[in-house]
A and B are shown apart, each in its own frame.
Chain A
Amino acid sequence: MSQPDLQVQDLVGGYVPDVPILRGVSVEVYPGEIVTVLGPNGAGKSTMIKAIAGLVGVTSGKVLLHGQDITGRKTHTLIREGLAYVPQVGNVFVRLSVAENLELGGFAARTNPAERLKQILALFPDLQRLKHLAAGKLSGGQRQMVAVGRALMAAPKVLMLDEPSAGLSPKLTEVLFGKLLEIRATGISILIVEQNAKAALAISDRGYVLAEGQGRFAGPAQELLHSPEVGALYLGAGSRLAS
């Protein structure tokens, strides 16, 4: 297989140096893939994505972006390397307008921001009429569109999303995940961290299951959906996510 776009190797780290939340996590995202990292609450999913983004300390292990070591790099430099990140909460600037949110996303872009904005408005046509509204006035679904649109403004190679379906109705989740497939089709690899295993695996190529800061299972998305072990971790013994 070709070189992964994003490679996490045996990552150990956490908010304070002596209490590692991640205890050796390895994840790979190959070009054009959608990869989901699953796990119960407190498994370290969000911590992992924050550690990749340079927001959480890493004590050992490596993060490689296109083969280049970016471990411990300052967060604000990563977007220029092509790594975009949509946090779970506080992912839009609520006092800024939708247009300003998108514009800020494009500050680090090497491509023409005006051109990029057109593509993003084509992807999320609703944002066009909301442009002048403060992002804090939007509904949860609209906010998520702004957050993803903002992340895409810098024309990243890899897009990371932390719990994109949190707070969304099943219908909106379906719409958003449909958009992620469209984004992938433009050549962007996607790493999703999710609680909503079923919906996320349905659009993913591969998945990883974390528990207690370590990788528990890994495999093609379809396999994880039907695996009794993964089902047991989520729903209790004898269950599966999909039959």
Chain B
Amino acid sequence: MMQVIVDGLVAASFVSLGVVGVSLIYNILNFPSFAQGDYLTIGGYMSLIVVLLLGTAGSIMGLQFGWPLILAAFCAILLTGLIAELLDRTIFGTLRRGGSSRITLIMASFGVALMLRNLIVIFFGPDPTYYVFAIQPALHLWGGARITQNEIVVLAVTVVLVMGLHLFLTRTKLGKSMRAVSENPSLARVNGIDVDNVIRWTWFIGSFLAAIAGTLFGLANGLQPYFGFELLLPMFAALIVGGVTNIYGAILGAVLIGIAESLTVKFLAAEYRQAVSFIAVILVLMVRPQGLLGEKE
């Protein structure tokens, strides 16, 4: 049972870092971006480029990676952020200023997702690849559960980032401005908040978290061009289960979906994993359509 929780939390880490981006963008730009999953893929592969250039992921403090991968993650943040900014300027921003409907923006995000995914296939091929090829030894926890070193890193980084995000949103001027814009853009303008600037930062924070989530995923599971896309379903399930308007709800949703998935793998079969997301969404929509922590609109 302990193993189910460990596996569920690790899966929830990638989903929660991804879904925060979706939630921020949804609340500020008013459309669900289906490209967010592929931003994770981009982030993972950007780190791979740096690791390949440096020739090694290194090793510090007995971990299976070192400064090269940490440096790679920072480069991935900048590059993914740059790509997100570029895509907003050329595609989403143009549509937004032209007064496009929400459905047009959703379709555009599908297009962006397809484009990014296939660019990855063109440049890196469809086969799985790794930052580190060594076998990851597992540590034994009480209750008979096992966890790899890299999975511990995944959990630790995720917890730090979620806490950091909370402090950012509640303590900083930019974070508070983002909450203000997400609730009432025209009143935010009246208050002297530059909404265009807030939108740029929203994309950056979304892609920042995506780049780290993608790199963590690559570290724990290896990379292949479809992993981000495959995380999209649990991400949206988490968003609906937790409540679209509430970032903390989305993170809670991610944890619930992660644990539900690992329960399914343990007691049913891995093939049913995706079905769990759908069942969770259906249940929540029937009982509490605004999500567990969401507010009625």
Given contacts A76-B195, A93-B183, A95-B183, contact A87 B177 (CB under 8 A): no
Q: Are A79 and B191 in contact (CB under 8 A)?
A: yes
**Residue B179, interface by CB 8 Å:** yes
A107 interface neighbour in B173, B179, B195, B295, Cβ under 8 Å:
B173
Taking CB atoms and an 8 Å cut-off, the chain A residues in 142-183 that contact chain B are 150, 154
| Contact flags A37-79 to B (C-beta < 8 A → 1, else 0) | 0000000000000000101000000000000000000111111
Given contacts A104-B180, A107-B177, contact A76 B192 (CB under 8 A): yes
Q: Which residues of B contact A53 (CB under 8 A)?
A: 190
Smallest CB separation, B297 vs chain A (Å): 12
B179 interface neighbour in A75, A87, A96, Cβ under 8 Å:
A96
Q: Indicate the member of A55, A87, A104 with the most B CB atoms within 10 Å.
A: A104
Given contacts A107-B173, A107-B193, contact A87 B187 (CB under 8 A): yes
Q: Which residues of A contact B177 (CB under 8 A)?
A: 104, 107
A150 interface neighbour in B191, B193, B194, Cβ under 8 Å:
B191
Secondary structure at the B interface, as helix, strand, loop or mixed, is helix
Q: Are B176 and A90 in contact (CB under 8 A)?
A: no
Smallest CB separation, B26 vs chain A (Å): 15
**Residue B189, interface by CB 8 Å:** yes
Given contacts A90-B184, A90-B186, contact A108 B191 (CB under 8 A): yes
Residue in A closest to B192 when the chains form the complex, CB atoms: A108
Q: Which residues of A contact B193 (CB under 8 A)?
A: 76, 104, 107
Q: How far is the CA of A96 from the CA of B189 in the complex (A)?
A: 16
Q: How far is the CA of A63 from the CA of B199 in the complex (A)?
A: 29
A-B contact count (CB 8 A): 66
**Residue A218, interface by CB 8 Å:** no
Smallest CB separation, A91 vs chain B (Å): 7
Taking CB atoms and an 8 Å cut-off, the chain B residues in 169-209 that contact chain A are 173, 176-177, 179-180, 183-184, 186-195
Q: Are A103 and B176 in contact (CB under 8 A)?
A: yes
Q: Are B180 and A93 in contact (CB under 8 A)?
A: yes
Q: Which residues of A contact B187 (CB under 8 A)?
A: 87, 90-93
Q: Indicate the member of B173, B191, B295 with the most A CB atoms within 10 Å.
A: B191
Residue in A closest to B179 when the chains form the complex, CB atoms: A96
Q: Which residues of A contact B190 (CB under 8 A)?
A: 53, 55, 75-76, 79, 84-85, 87
Smallest CB separation, B10 vs chain A (Å): 32
Q: Indicate the member of B180, B184, B187 with the most A CB atoms within 10 Å.
A: B187
Chain A contributes a number of interface residues (CB within 8 A of B) equal to: 27
Chain B contributes a number of interface residues (CB within 8 A of A) equal to: 18
**Residue A203, interface by CB 8 Å:** no
Taking CB atoms and an 8 Å cut-off, the chain B residues in 184-242 that contact chain A are 184, 186-195
Q: How far is the CA of A79 from the CA of B190 in the complex (A)?
A: 7
Residue in B closest to A86 when the chains form the complex, CB atoms: B190
Q: Are B191 and A55 in contact (CB under 8 A)?
A: no
Q: Which residues of B contact A84 (CB under 8 A)?
A: 190
Residue in B closest to A50 when the chains form the complex, CB atoms: B186
Q: How far is the CA of A186 from the CA of B93 in the complex (A)?
A: 43
Q: Are B183 and A107 in contact (CB under 8 A)?
A: no
Smallest CB separation, B191 vs chain A (Å): 5
Smallest CB separation, B12 vs chain A (Å): 25
Q: Which residues of A contact B183 (CB under 8 A)?
A: 93-96
Q: Are B192 and A154 in contact (CB under 8 A)?
A: yes
Q: Which residues of A contact B189 (CB under 8 A)?
A: 55, 74-76
Smallest CB separation, B117 vs chain A (Å): 35
Smallest CB separation, A94 vs chain B (Å): 7
| Contact flags B284-297 to A (C-beta < 8 A → 1, else 0) | 00000000000100
Q: How far is the CA of A91 from the CA of B186 in the complex (A)?
A: 10
Q: How far is the CA of A90 from the CA of B187 in the complex (A)?
A: 7
Q: How far is the CA of A46 from the CA of B193 in the complex (A)?
A: 22
**Residue A100, interface by CB 8 Å:** yes
**Residue A14, interface by CB 8 Å:** no
Q: Which residues of A contact B188 (CB under 8 A)?
A: 76, 104
**Residue A226, interface by CB 8 Å:** no
**Residue A105, interface by CB 8 Å:** yes
Q: How far is the CA of A103 from the CA of B194 in the complex (A)?
A: 16
Q: How far is the CA of A241 from the CA of B83 in the complex (A)?
A: 62
Residue ranges of B at the interface with A (Cβ–Cβ < 8 Å): 173, 176-177, 179-180, 183-184, 186-195, 295
Pairs across A and B, CB under 8 Å, 10 listed: A55-B189, A74-B194, A75-B186, A77-B192, A79-B192, A90-B186, A93-B180, A104-B188, A105-B191, A107-B192
Known pairs A100-B176, A107-B177. 5 more at Cβ < 8 A? A55-B190, A91-B187, A95-B183, A104-B193, A154-B192
